């Protein structure tokens, strides 16, 4: 399926849903899919349109197959079955809903199936069988490596193989769910000393994007890199929380464990590959002297990246009490990925691993490489050496109880309507 634009991307297209006009995230050109509930109703599939949520099963009978079948399949508490059929049914569903929402004559029939988003509860959109977090942000990798290996920040394998670790899917929660500060062993103050145990003192966020798997593959049947994008359901925002003091003590020799397994937060809406078509862009050219990928990772990268801007903001209890606006900590592009989404999928499956609908792949922390584009506090504070001064006089090195982290992401390009991912937010509790 080629990445081409069509009438659903027309910047002049408008919806009779009033709040969709000029909406920063959810104009009619977006139509992301998620799982919602309203009142006492069961969770089911919906689409975001402006400040409203459209009940997909509710409007199914107004559609024709394959869109009708897709909308009926969305009548479930998770969307695994909907996306398991590949991208063609999703494309048909998006086009059919676009037609309903731009046709005033359909308003009377559709409007009863629209609910104010503020009245809806959002849910994790998939039953997540597996979660793999990659390490594709090369500027982040250099920054972190420099804290421990100033003369050689990148390990020898970094530019040859996509690095990742198997995360904990059971603790992934949807935006708006509080995160309890984890406890664990922390590195001894002096070499040879005994570790401390207690609540993490160096709690951090990681600004990432989530790549969701739609159609899977059979065990032992790798996904070729040229076909990998057909297996992507869409993307969301991901915050892979990190307890840096616990991580520093446990990560050798097998990598993150308790420092990462206590919580990860996702934004609730899946922005589909079709909605992102206008915002595809070239993968950044590798630096001179960098090795070329091995053959199984080589593909056309002229439109393999996503022109998405990401940002992370902080509010403290004092800021909220004073009615202050969130303070932006950093901002940067998703193109900070050293490896493409297709390369991640091809590498993940090359040994025969069977990817399943609803599997989550994290990009890893995406740092821009420029000042103000750091994707984590450990980078912003240079490992806790520097202090972040907030406008109200408060200071932070790492997160304190009551702090709320808000992540946002959006795509914009001349000639097209801006689309966004919505918020990915959570508050730290003691």
Residues 112 and 201 grouped into a single domain = no
Give the residue from 75, 97, 123 where a domain finishes.
Answer: 123
User: Dmax over Cα atoms in the chain, in whole Å?
Assistant: 75
Q: What confidence score (pLDDT) does residue 1 get? A: 43
The runs of H, that is alpha helices, within 120-268 are 138-148, 244-250
Residues 138 and 28 grouped into a single domain = no
Say how far apart CA 376 and CA 69 lie, in whole Å. Answer: 42
Cα 194 from chain centre: 38
Strand pairing report for 120-123 and 207-213? unpaired
Q: Residue length, the chain?
A: 430
- Owning domain of residue 94: 7-123
Residues 65 and 148 grouped into a single domain = no
For 132-182, the pLDDT digits (tens) are: 999 999 999 999 999 888 888 999 999 999 999 999 999 999 999 999 999
CB-based contact 16:252 (threshold 8 Å): no
Query: Is 58 domain-assigned?
Result: yes
**Is the pLDDT at 266 greater than 90, yes or no?**
yes
Residues 285 and 228 grouped into a single domain = yes
CB-based contact 309:375 (threshold 8 Å): no
Give the residue from 123, 154, 180 where a domain finishes.
Answer: 123
Residues 279 and 168 grouped into a single domain = yes
**Six-digit token pair at 93?**
């569903």
Candidates 379, 394, 400; CA nearest to 199 is 400
Prediction pTM value: 0.97
Give phi and psi for 187, each to the nearest 5.
-55, 135
Residues 106 and 229 grouped into a single domain = no
Burial letters 242-252, b for 16+ CB under 10 A, else e: bbbbbbbbbee
Q: In which residue are the tokens 């897709």 written?
A: 70
Q: What confidence score (pLDDT) does residue 224 get? A: 98
**Is the pLDDT at 46 greater than 50, yes or no?**
yes
Q: What confidence score (pLDDT) does residue 360 get? A: 98
Say how far apart CA 123 and CA 44 lie, in whole Å. Answer: 9
Query: Is 258 domain-assigned?
Result: yes
**Is the pLDDT at 375 greater than 90, yes or no?**
yes
| CA distance to 69, 72, 122, 374, per residue, from 61 (Å) | 9, 9, 24, 48
> What mean pLDDT is predicted for residues 50-60?
98
| CA distance to 134, 140, 211, 214, per residue, from 88 (Å) | 27, 36, 18, 11
Q: What confidence score (pLDDT) does residue 3 get? A: 67
Rounded percentage of the chain residues whose pLDDT exceeds 70: 99
**Is the pLDDT at 389 greater than 60, yes or no?**
yes
The better pLDDT of the pair 416, 191 is held by: 416
Say how far apart CA 206 and CA 201 lie, in whole Å. Answer: 16
Catalytic residue among 139, 140, 347, 348: 140
Candidates 34, 67, 396; CA nearest to 237 is 34
The answer to whether 140 is a known catalytic residue is yes
- What percentage of the chain's residues is helix, strand, coil (to nearest 5)? 25, 25, 50
Strand pairing report for 120-123 and 179-180? unpaired
**Six-digit token pair at 135?**
């390490």
Tell me which of 164-178, 244-258, 308-322, 415-429 is least confident.
244-258
Residues 212 and 174 grouped into a single domain = yes
Q: What confidence score (pLDDT) does residue 4 get? A: 87
253 upstream amide cis, omega within 30 of 0? yes
Residues 199 and 273 grouped into a single domain = yes
For 84-113, the pLDDT digits (tens) are: 999 999 999 999 999 999 999 999 999 999
**Is the pLDDT at 2 greater than 60, yes or no?**
no
Give the residue from 123, 143, 172 where a domain finishes.
Answer: 123
Strand partners, 208: 238
> What mean pLDDT is predicted for residues 332-349?
98
Q: What confidence score (pLDDT) does residue 151 get? A: 84
Average pLDDT value for the chain: 97
Residues 89 and 142 grouped into a single domain = no
CATH number at residue 236: 3.90.850.10
């Amino acid at each position: 399926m080629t990445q081409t634009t069509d009438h659903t991307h027309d910047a002049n297209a408008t919806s009779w849903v009033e709040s969709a006009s000029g909406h920063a995230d959810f104009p009619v050109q977006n139509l992301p899919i998620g799982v919602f509930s309203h009142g006492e109703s069961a969770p089911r599939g919906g689409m975001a349109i402006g400040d409203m949520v459209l009940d997909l099963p509710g409007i199914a009978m107004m559609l024709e197959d394959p869109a009708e079948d897709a909308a009926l399949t969305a009548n479930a508490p998770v969307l695994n079955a909907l996306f398991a059929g590949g991208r063609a049914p999703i494309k048909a569903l998006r086009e059919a809903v676009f037609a309903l929402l731009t046709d005033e004559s359909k308003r009377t029939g559709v409007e009863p199936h629209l609910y104010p988003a503020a009245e809806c509860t959002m849910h994790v959109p998939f039953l997540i069988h597996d979660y793999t977090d990659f390490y594709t942000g090369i500027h982040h990798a250099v920054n972190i490596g420099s804290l421990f290996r100033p003369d050689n920040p990148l390990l020898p394998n970094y530019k040859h193989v996509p690095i990742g670790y198997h995360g904990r899917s059971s603790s992934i929660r949807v935006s708006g769910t509080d995160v309890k500060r984890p406890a664990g062993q922390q590195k001894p103050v002096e070499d040879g000393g005994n570790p401390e145990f207690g609540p993490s003192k160096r709690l951090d966020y990681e600004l990432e994007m989530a790549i969701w798997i739609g159609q899977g593959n059979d065990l032992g049947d790798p996904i070729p890199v040229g076909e990998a994008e057909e297996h992507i359901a869409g993307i969301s925002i991901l915050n892979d929380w990190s307890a840096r003091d616990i991580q520093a003590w446990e990560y050798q020799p097998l990598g993150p464990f308790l420092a990462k397994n206590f919580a990860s937060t996702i934004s609730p809406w899946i922005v589909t590959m079709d909605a992102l078509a206008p915002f595809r862009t070239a993968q950044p050219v590798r630096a001179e002297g960098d090795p070329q990928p091995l053959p199984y990772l080589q593909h056309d990268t002229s439109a393999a990246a996503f022109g998405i801007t990401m940002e992370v903001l902080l509010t403290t209890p004092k800021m909220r009490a004073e009615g202050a606006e969130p303070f932006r900590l950093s901002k940067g592009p998703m193109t900070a990925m050293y490896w493409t989404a297709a390369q991640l999928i091809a590498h993940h499956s090359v040994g025969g691993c069977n990817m399943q609908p609803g599997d989550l792949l994290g990009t890893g922390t995406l740092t821009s490489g420029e000042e103000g584009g750091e994707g984590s506090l450990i980078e912003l504070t240079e490992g806790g050496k520097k202090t972040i001064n907030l406008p109200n006089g408060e200071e932070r090195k790492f997160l304190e109880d009551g702090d709320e982290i808000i992540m946002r992401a959006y795509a914009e390009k001349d000639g097209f309507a801006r689309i966004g991912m919505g918020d990915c937010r959570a508050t730290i509790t003691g």
